[in-house]
């Protein structure tokens, strides 16, 4: 039976002021700082008999479609191109961030563990067996915030408007208010910027 995709409850306390946290793995969010290596070593000890040497561990601020991902390295050039696990930085801002990060890193570690042993490293029956044994979630948590794909701006006031989908014929409310008695005025129609950016800044409408 496949375990539910709910997040495993982990009662651990990390010492956030520990000096070993000052590494490239360190990220802070809402007063929380966490070193992925510390979490990884714990997972390796708890579930892999300390067998796993750490891969490259990085936070990814642009990763939004999933909470984490595993990128296989080069077997021939392992020093230059090591296997890598990326964890979405937004997890630090979630309520149960420690549990989510532990769970996500544990999930990605199974991919890594299979890859190290030259096994098929997708979501195979072997993957699912190990996952069940470890009690980690079936799927990565879905991000709460979706990225803004579009940015619009108003010619008149230069204000920018992030949007998750195309806005069509919307106009700048501030300028319509100020210059057209609050009526829709095509002069202040929002113009799409020619870029696709991932951002979490809130709409400034």
Nearer to Zn ion, 21 or 47 (CB): 47
Decide: helix, strand or coil at residue 129: helix
Cα distance between residue 16 and residue 21, in whole Å: 7
Q: Which of 156, 170, 180, 185 binds Zn ion (CB under 5 A)?
A: 156
Q: Which of 67, 85, 114, 154 binds Zn ion (CB under 5 A)?
A: 154
Binding of residue 98 to Zn ion (CB under 5 A): no
Calculate the dihedral angle through the C-alpha atoms of 94, 138, 136, 99, rounding to the nearest 10 degrees: 0
Smallest gap from Cβ 159 to Zn ion, in A, equals 5
Binding of residue 175 to Zn ion (CB under 5 A): yes
Stretch that binds Zn ion, among 13-21, 23-31, 80-88, 147-155 (CB under 5 A): 147-155
Nearer to Zn ion, 83 or 154 (CB): 154
Stretch that binds Zn ion, among 7-15, 82-90, 149-157, 191-199 (CB under 5 A): 149-157
Measured at the CA of 87, the angle between CA 83 and CA 89, to 5 degrees, comes to 145
Site for Zn ion in 47-76 (CB under 5 A): none
- Contact (Cβ atoms closer than 8 angstroms) between residue 50 and residue 44: yes
- Residue at token pair 């696990």: 85
Q: How far is CA 192 from the centre of its chain?
A: 26
| Binding interface with Zn ion (CB under 5 A) | 154, 156-157, 172, 174-175
């Amino acid at each position: 039976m496949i375990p539910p995709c709910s997040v495993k409850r982990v009662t651990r306390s990390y010492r956030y002021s520990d000096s070993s946290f000052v590494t490239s793995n360190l990220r802070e969010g809402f007063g929380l700082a966490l070193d992925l290596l510390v979490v990884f070593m714990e997972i390796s000890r708890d579930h892999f008999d300390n067998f796993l040497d750490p891969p490259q561990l990085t936070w990814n601020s642009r990763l939004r479609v999933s909470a984490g991902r595993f990128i296989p390295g080069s077997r021939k050039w392992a020093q230059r191109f090591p296997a890598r696990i990326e964890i979405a930085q937004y997890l630090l801002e979630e309520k149960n961030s420690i549990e989510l990060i532990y769970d996500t890193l544990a999930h990605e570690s199974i991919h890594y563990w299979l890859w190290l042993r030259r096994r098929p490293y997708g979501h195979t029956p072997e993957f699912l067996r190990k996952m069940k044994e470890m009690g980690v979630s079936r799927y990565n948590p879905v991000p709460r915030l979706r990225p803004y794909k579009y940015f619009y701006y108003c010619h008149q006031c230069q204000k920018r408007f992030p949007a998750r989908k195309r806005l069509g014929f919307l106009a700048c409310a501030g300028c319509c208010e100020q210059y057209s008695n609050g009526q829709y005025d095509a002069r202040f129609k929002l113009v799409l910027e020619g870029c696709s950016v991932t951002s979490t800044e809130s709409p400034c409408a």
